[in-house]
């Protein structure tokens, strides 16, 4: 399997504070990986560093054969990486539809607006509402939907289930399954590993700015002791 | 007679108020757009307004270019100069405290105004309105100088066009989104640094446009902007920093209020806008249209 995204010895800093201490990870085309770990271990920072939002970083990030370290932030998306932030980043001064249409198309093969509305009927009903008037679950759907339009090949998804009701979490899981069916590559950061177990092919466990374990979903039962100990669940 | 005031005087001052309001609206609109996205309080705005008027004057004197062409060319020239300033200097200050942007643009205004004073002197130079807009029409209750009516219509049209650009177009959606969260918009693949340059150029271009409109009404002088800009900052504060609609509506409103004050209590007409600003700051610190209120 050739890697679509590979990260080698990624180090990153917030100001003087050294938060990533050499992250290594690879994601194959069409694969869904999940980064597990407690709060403050560097999961979000890993995504923000790969995306190029956090600029104070060293190491190597390669995506689709391209060196991503040298690219300015607005070219990362153009290379095919799509980012769904933890806080969702829905714009209050834009309507739902404007939010959906905001990210420029970066490649052919993205979903059409009709397909997106078929997948997320709520968004169509409320397309003229102010973006931030949506419920938390709908905002999460919108944050994902707007990236699916762009033709991004790889989705960086930060804690999509945080604070959401079980029925919404289930819907998000179904959406991720559909995306897998379409060949989308996903890097998922999640604390809820019961949710992640349903969608991820492979897991990384993160601790203090490093990956400390890596295993396929099939090994999850053997790893439960480790996960209970590390995640405190 | 209305409240013991002759209708002619009342209407005359109302018109003066509307004309002043037209300039307040155009200038505070530019300031609001720039502040919204760049978080820079553009103290060079008055100088850019003056540059617009001087561009029209010099285009006429040196190139024989008429008012109508100047109305298009001068804002483009001012906008282009602003783009160069933003790209080469102002953009280096975004990472620092906002105070540096204010200080830089303040210094820039002094430098530009000083340079023009050195070369052209402090006295005002006349700029004749175009032949098509000279004269006046009798409205029955008053004579309306045609050029003054044109100023109100042109500024209103440009304000509405800019408002539509921001509220109804894709570029406007980028601008609104980047005003909220520039990093995320850039992470979506939008060239936000370019958007910042264009926005600064647009704001300055609006000031340049106001300058050309003003040239036949007021005289063209190096300090014409610095006299006006203080009032415009008060307008922006009353409207709410960064509020587009607030800047436009408050601009016209305060112009009219100022005009009416001249009729009813002339002694207060120079300070009425600042009194309103003080009251608004006490009652609604975010401004009449501010979102944090």
CATH number at residue B71: 1.10.3470
Q: What confidence score (pLDDT) does residue B293 get?
A: 39
Is B202 a member of any domain? Answer: yes
Distance from CA of A174 to the nearest CA of B (A): 24
pLDDT digits (tens, 9 = 90+) for B205-246: 999 999 999 999 999 999 999 989 999 999 999 998 878 899
Is B36 a member of any domain? Answer: yes
Task: Identify the bridge partners of residue A84 per DSSP, sorted by sequence position.
Answer: A157
pLDDT digits (tens, 9 = 90+) for A168-199: 999 999 999 988 988 999 999 998 888 999 99
Is B159 a member of any domain? Answer: yes
Is B2 a member of any domain? Answer: no
Contact B188 A93 (CB under 8 A): no
Contact A92 B180 (CB under 8 A): yes
Distance from CA of B174 to the nearest CA of A (A): 7
Residues of B with CB under 8 A from a CB of A: 170, 173-174, 176-177, 179-181, 183-193
Any idea what DSSP says for residue B97? -
Query: Hey, what are B196's tokens?
Result: 């910042």
Q: CA of B194: which chain A residue's CA is closest?
A: A74
Name the pLDDT band for B84 (thresholds 50, 70, 90): very high
State ipTM.
0.93
Nearest to B216 by CA among B130, B123, B120: B130
**Sign for the pseudo-dihedral over CA of A165, A166, A167, A169:** positive
> How far is residue A184's CA from residue A195's CA, in Å, rounded to a whole number?
18
Contact A150 B188 (CB under 8 A): yes
Contact A104 B177 (CB under 8 A): no
Contact A76 B189 (CB under 8 A): yes
Is A11 a member of any domain? Answer: no
Instruction: For residues B6-33, give the mean pLDDT.
Output: 91
Instruction: For residues B194-205, give the mean pLDDT.
Output: 97
Is A137 a member of any domain? Answer: yes
Is A22 a member of any domain? Answer: no
DSSP codes, A160-221:
TTTT--HHHHHHHHHHHHHHHHTT-EEEEE-S-HHHHHHH-SEEEEEETTEEEEEEEGGGHH
Q: Is the pLDDT of residue B292 over 80?
A: no
Is A9 a member of any domain? Answer: no
Q: What confidence score (pLDDT) does residue A233 get?
A: 60
CATH number at residue A201: 3.40.50.300
Q: CA of B191: which chain A residue's CA is closest?
A: A74
Is A130 a member of any domain? Answer: yes
Is B292 a member of any domain? Answer: no
Is B291 a member of any domain? Answer: no
> How far is residue A46's CA from residue A19's CA, in Å, rounded to a whole number?
9
Q: Which residue has the tokens 């207060």?
A: B268
A35 with A189: CB under 8 angstroms? yes
> How far is residue B7's CA from residue B91's CA, in Å, rounded to a whole number?
52
Contact A104 B185 (CB under 8 A): no
Which phi and psi (to 5°) does residue A32 adopt? -115, 120
Is A4 a member of any domain? Answer: no
Q: Is the pLDDT of residue A11 over 90?
A: yes
Is A66 a member of any domain? Answer: no
Distance from CA of A80 to the nearest CA of B (A): 10
C-alpha of A233 from chain center: 22
Distance from CA of A215 to the nearest CA of B (A): 30
Distance from CA of A228 to the nearest CA of B (A): 34
| Host domain of residue B27 | 8-283
Contact A91 B180 (CB under 8 A): yes
Is A6 a member of any domain? Answer: no
Is B222 a member of any domain? Answer: yes
Residues in chain A with CB shorter than 8 Å from the CB of B94 are none
| Host domain of residue A158 | 31-55+71-231
B53 with B215: CB under 8 angstroms? yes
Is B3 a member of any domain? Answer: no
Q: CA of B172: which chain A residue's CA is closest?
A: A94
- A142 vs B122: which has the higher pLDDT: A142
Ordered strands of the A210-216 beta sheet: A81-84, A154-158, A185-189, A32-36, A202-207, A210-216
Residues in chain B with CB shorter than 8 Å from the CB of A102 are 173-174, 177, 185, 188
Q: CA of A100: which chain B residue's CA is closest?
A: B173
Query: Hey, what are A201's tokens?
Result: 């092919």
How many folded domains does chain A comprise? 1
Q: What confidence score (pLDDT) does residue A193 get?
A: 80
How many folded domains does chain B comprise? 1
Contact B180 A93 (CB under 8 A): yes
pLDDT digits (tens, 9 = 90+) for A207-228: 999 999 999 999 988 988 888 8
A110-123 b/e (C-beta count within 10 Å ≥ 16 → b): bbebeebbebbebb
């Amino acid at each position: 399997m050739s890697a679509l995204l590979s990260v080698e010895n990624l180090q990153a800093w917030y100001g003087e504070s050294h938060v990533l201490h050499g992250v290594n990870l690879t994601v194959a085309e069409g694969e869904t990986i999940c980064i597990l770990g407690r709060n403050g271990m560097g999961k979000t920072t890993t995504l923000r560093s790969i995306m190029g939002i956090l600029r104070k970083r060293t190491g190597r990030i390669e995506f689709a054969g391209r060196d991503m370290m040298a690219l300015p932030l607005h070219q990362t998306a153009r290379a095919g990486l799509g980012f769904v932030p933890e806080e969702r980043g829905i714009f209050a001064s834009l309507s739902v539809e404007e939010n959906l249409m905001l990210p420029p198309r970066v490649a052919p093969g993205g979903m059409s607006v009709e397909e997106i509305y078929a997948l997320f009927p709520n968004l169509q009903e409320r397309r003229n509402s102010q973006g931030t008037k949506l419920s938390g679950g709908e905002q999460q759907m919108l944050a994902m939907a707007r990236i699916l339009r762009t033709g991004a090949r790889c989705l960086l998804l930060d804690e999509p289930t945080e604070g959401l009701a079980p029925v919404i979490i289930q819907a998000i899981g179904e959406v991720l399954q559909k995306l897998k069916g379409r060949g989308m590559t996903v890097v998922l950061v999640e604390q809820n590993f019961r949710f992640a177990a349903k969608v991820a092919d492979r897991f990384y466990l993160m601790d203090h700015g490093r990956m400390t374990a890596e295993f396929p979903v099939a090994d999850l039962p053997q790893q439960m002791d480790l996960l209970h100990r590390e995640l405190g669940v | 007679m209305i409240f013991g005031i002759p209708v002619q005087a009342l209407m005359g001052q109302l018109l003066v108020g509307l004309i002043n309001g037209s300039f307040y609206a155009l200038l505070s609109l530019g300031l609001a757009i720039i502040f919204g996205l760049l978080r820079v309080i553009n103290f060079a705005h008055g100088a850019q307004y003056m540059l617009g008027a001087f561009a029209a004057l010099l285009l006429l004197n040196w190139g024989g270019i008429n008012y109508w062409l100047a109305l298009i060319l001068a804002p483009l020239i001012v906008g282009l100069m602003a783009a160069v300033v933003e790209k080469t200097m102002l953009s280096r200050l975004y990472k620092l405290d906002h105070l540096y942007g204010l200080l830089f643009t303040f210094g820039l205004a002094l430098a530009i105004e000083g340079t023009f004073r050195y070369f052209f002197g402090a006295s005002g130079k006349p700029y004749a309105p175009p032949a098509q807009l000279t004269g006046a029409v009798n409205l029955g209750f008053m004579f309306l100088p045609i050029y003054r009516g044109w100023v109100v219509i042109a500024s209103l049209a440009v304000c509405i066009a800019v408002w539509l650009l921001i509220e109804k177009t894709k570029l406007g959606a980028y601008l609104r989104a980047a005003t909220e969260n520039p990093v995320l918009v850039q992470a979506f693949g939008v060239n936000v640094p370019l958007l910042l340059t264009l926005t600064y150029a647009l704001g300055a271009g609006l000031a340049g446009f106001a300058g050309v409109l003003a040239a036949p009404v007021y005289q063209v002088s190096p300090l014409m902007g610095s006299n006006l800009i203080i009032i415009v900052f008060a307008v922006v504060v009353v409207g709410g920093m960064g509020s587009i609609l607030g800047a436009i509506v408050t601009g016209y409103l305060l112009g009219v209020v100022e005009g009416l004050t001249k009729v009813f209590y002339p002694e207060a007409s120079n300070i009425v806008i600042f009194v309103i600003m003080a009251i608004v700051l006490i009652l609604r610190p975010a401004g009449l249209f501010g979102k944090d209120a």
